[in-house]
Amino acid sequence: MGTSRPVRADEILGALQRETPDDHVFFAAVKTGPTQLGGTQLRVLDAVWLRRSWTRPWITGFEVKVSRGDYTRDEKWVEYLEVCHRFYFVAPPDVISRDELPPAVGLRIYDPATSRLSTRRAAPVRPVDLPASLLWYLIISRLEPDRHPFYRTRRELAEAYLRGGREAQRQIGERLGTRLAQDVELLAARVQDLERDLSRAEQAKARLEEVQTVARTHGIPTWPEDRFAETLNERLAGVNDGRQMVQRFARAMARDLRHVLERAERAQGEERECS
C-alpha cells in the first residue's frame, strides 16, 4: 500500500539522525569535495553515518528518494560507492524494490505513520579508502554553528517550515527564528549606518551647493562639476596673487612717502638755518 501523503526528505533525514548508532556521528548534505569543483566533479550525499573507530572507521552513505521518479532519474548514485563502506537508499514504501538494486546497495524503508526506519536489505561492508576530501568537509561542517542538520540551504529550511505540521513548524521555527532574528538585528544596524552615511552626504551636498552659489556670484563657473574644484583653486590662487601684488605696491608707496617726508623735513630745516 502506498503512503497516504507525500513524504518530505527532511522527515527521512530526521529519522536517520534519531536512529544513528551510539558509536556513529550523523551528517546531512555531505559534499564529496570543495564547492569550487562544481559541475560533474562534485557530489552531495544526502546523509552520512561516520563510525567513531580507529580500526574500522566506516562511512555509511544514504541517498534519500521520496518518489519513484526521483529514484529513476538519478544516475549519479553509483559514484557514491567509491566514498562509502556501505551505501543505502532510503525511501517510503513502494518507491524502490530491493530486487532492482545491485548486491552492493542496501535499502531502508521509512514509515510515515511511525516516523521510523526498517531495513529491507542490509548493505555489505566494502573495502574503500577513506576519502580525504569528504572527511575534511565533515570537519568543516561541524564548525558551522548555524547549520541545520537536515537541510542543504536555509531556503529548504523555510520551505519545510511552510509545508510541515504544527510540531515541525515549532522545531524549525526555533532554529530559523534564532538565526533570522540575528540577521534582522545585523540588517537593522546596517540600515542605521547607511542612514547616518546618507545624512552626512546630504549635509556635504548642501554645503557644496552653498559654495557653488557664492562662486557663481563672483563669476566663477561651476560647470562641469568635475572641474569645479580645479577652477575654484585657480581663481583663489589668482586672488592671492593679486592680494600679494597690492601688498607689495602698498609697501613701495609707504617707502616712497617716507622718503618724501624725510626730504621735506630736511628742506624745512635748511630753510630755517638760512633765515
Give yes or no for residue 156 having a pLDDT over 70. no
Kindly state whether residues 214 and 231 are assigned to the same domain: no
Helices (H) and strands (E) in the chain, counts: 6, 6
Kindly state whether residues 236 and 132 are assigned to the same domain: no
**pTM, entire model:** 0.52
What integer pLDDT is reported at residue 170 of this predicted model? Answer: 54
What integer pLDDT is reported at residue 186 of this predicted model? Answer: 66
Q: Is residue 264 part of a domain?
A: yes
Give the domain range for residue 201.
153-218
CA angle 192, 197, 201 (to 5 degrees): 145
Kindly state whether residues 15 and 100 are assigned to the same domain: yes
Give yes or no for residue 185 having a pLDDT over 80. no
Kindly state whether residues 141 and 17 are assigned to the same domain: yes
What integer pLDDT is reported at residue 1 of this predicted model? Answer: 42
Region 230-259: mean pLDDT is: 66
pLDDT grade for 5, boundaries at 50, 70 and 90: confident
Kindly state whether residues 103 and 44 are assigned to the same domain: yes
For residues 88 and 118, what is the distance between their CA atoms, to the nearest angstrom? 12
Q: Which span out of 5-14, 101-110, 225-234 was modeled with the highest average pLDDT?
A: 101-110
Region 21-42: mean pLDDT is: 75
Give yes or no for residue 16 having a pLDDT over 70. yes
119-to-32, 58, 88, 107, 122 alpha-carbon distances in Å:
25, 18, 10, 6, 6
Region 42-54: mean pLDDT is: 86
Q: Is residue 1 part of a domain?
A: no
Q: Which of 150, 184, 208 is the last residue of a domain?
A: 150
Region 229-252: mean pLDDT is: 66
For residues 112 and 175, what is the distance between their CA atoms, to the nearest angstrom? 23
Kindly state whether residues 146 and 160 are assigned to the same domain: no
Q: How many domains does the chain have?
A: 3
For residues 64 and 91, what is the distance between their CA atoms, to the nearest angstrom? 6
Region 78-95: mean pLDDT is: 93
Kindly state whether residues 138 and 180 are assigned to the same domain: no
Which of these, 120, 60, 122, lies nearest to 92 by C-alpha position? 120
> Mapping DSSP to helix (H, G, I), strand (E, B) and coil, where does residue 34 land?
coil
Q: Which of 117, 150, 183 is the last residue of a domain?
A: 150
For residues 153 and 157, what is the distance between their CA atoms, to the nearest angstrom? 7
Kindly state whether residues 93 and 195 are assigned to the same domain: no
Sheet strands side by side (includes 106-111): 24-31, 44-51, 59-64, 86-91, 106-111, 116-121
What integer pLDDT is reported at residue 75 of this predicted model? Answer: 86
Region 144-156: mean pLDDT is: 53
Q: Is residue 194 part of a domain?
A: yes
For residues 64 and 117, what is the distance between their CA atoms, to the nearest angstrom? 12
Give yes or no for residue 135 having a pLDDT over 50. yes
Q: Is residue 2 part of a domain?
A: no
Q: Is residue 4 part of a domain?
A: no
Q: Is residue 117 part of a domain?
A: yes
pLDDT grade for 273, boundaries at 50, 70 and 90: low
pLDDT grade for 139, boundaries at 50, 70 and 90: confident
Kindly state whether residues 14 and 138 are assigned to the same domain: yes
What integer pLDDT is reported at residue 91 of this predicted model? Answer: 96
Region 17-41: mean pLDDT is: 78
Percent of the chain with pLDDT over 90: 29
33-to-8, 29, 111, 134 alpha-carbon distances in Å:
26, 12, 32, 6
- Give 175 or 99, the one with higher predicted confidence: 99
For residue 26, what are the β-bridge partners? 49
What integer pLDDT is reported at residue 66 of this predicted model? Answer: 94
- Give 41 or 153, the one with higher predicted confidence: 41
Kindly state whether residues 169 and 52 are assigned to the same domain: no
In degrees and rounded to multiples of 5, residue 78 shows phi and psi of -60, -25
pLDDT grade for 18, boundaries at 50, 70 and 90: very high
Q: Which of 177, 192, 218 is the last residue of a domain?
A: 218
Kindly state whether residues 14 and 134 are assigned to the same domain: yes
Kindly state whether residues 94 and 13 are assigned to the same domain: yes
